[in-house]
Amino acid sequence: DIQMTQSPSSLSASVGDRVTITCQASQDISNNLNWYQQKAGKAPKLLIYDASNLETGVPSRFSGSGSGTDFTFTISSLQPEDIATYYCQQYDNLPITFGQGTRLEIK
Amino acid sequence: QVQLVQSGAEVKKPGASVKVSCKASGYTFTDYYMHWVRQAPGQGLEWMGWINPNSGGTSYAQKFQGRVTMTRDTSISTTYMELSRLRSDDTAVYYCARGRHIVGGTGKFLGYWGQGTLVTVSS
């Protein structure tokens, strides 16, 4: 199974800050990676697909980059509504695996 | 618009089975894989498997082999996930999520999710 190591596990930042989350795959997954946002009590919401493509309707302050084994997710200017847990996920190989999540809080 | 609507919350006793449904609308049901993902309380996301709604073919995560069965009813655009021999650690929210196009492999992987179904296993 491909292990997805996501860091940090939690993060506290101020409104307007630039926030970065990283995800490392245990083997090459090309660009077969998604980033999700999950708010409390809700289903995950796709933000970034194929590592760097912004899902329709998602604000442009969200972005993703990387390929192979190392990936980065960035919020350029944190907003109060961005409080959530964020997950990376690889779909290069079965079983599909997720990072352990990053809980984002407002400082 | 694509919608996945799941059945309501369930409470089951250890050793019982549960069957969760996921009704799709807004697209051709038999054109896209359907996946199931679960999330235990306060925990991360765990992939369980997929079903090809066209052929009925399935692929399950090794952890659930022998306990999970995914089926579909094309007449009502609905997929089902049945988990047997329930244990307390099966308490979780279960999600269906649409996969990629079966033939072309196009579309966003797990771009659409159901609202989730809470399954509580308790004696």
- Contact call for B44 and A46, based on CB within 8 A: no
Contacts of A36 in chain B (CB under 8 A): 45
The answer to whether residue B106 scores a pLDDT higher than 90 is: no
Question: 3-class DSSP state for residue A31?
Answer: coil
Q: Round the average pLDDT of chain B to a whole number and report it.
A: 97
- Please state, in angstroms and rounded to a whole number, the distance separating the CA atoms of residues B24 and B63: 26
- Please state, in angstroms and rounded to a whole number, the distance separating the CA atoms of residues B24 and B10: 20
Pairs of CB atoms within 8 A across A/B: 46
- Give the count of beta carbons closer than 10 Å to the beta carbon of residue B47: 22
pLDDT digits (tens, 9 = 90+) for B61-82: 999 999 999 999 999 999 999 9
Q: What is the pLDDT of residue B76?
A: 98
- Please state, in angstroms and rounded to a whole number, the distance separating the CA atoms of residues B25 and B28: 8
pLDDT band at residue B6 using 50, 70 and 90 as cut-offs: very high
pLDDT band at residue B104 using 50, 70 and 90 as cut-offs: confident
Contacts of A95 in chain B (CB under 8 A): 47, 61-62
- Tokens in use for B48? 């369980």
Q: What is the mean pLDDT of each run of 10 residues along chain A (107 residues)?
A: 97 97 98 97 97 96 98 98 97 96 96
Over range B98-104, report the average pLDDT.
92
CA A45, A51, A53, A54 dihedral sign is positive
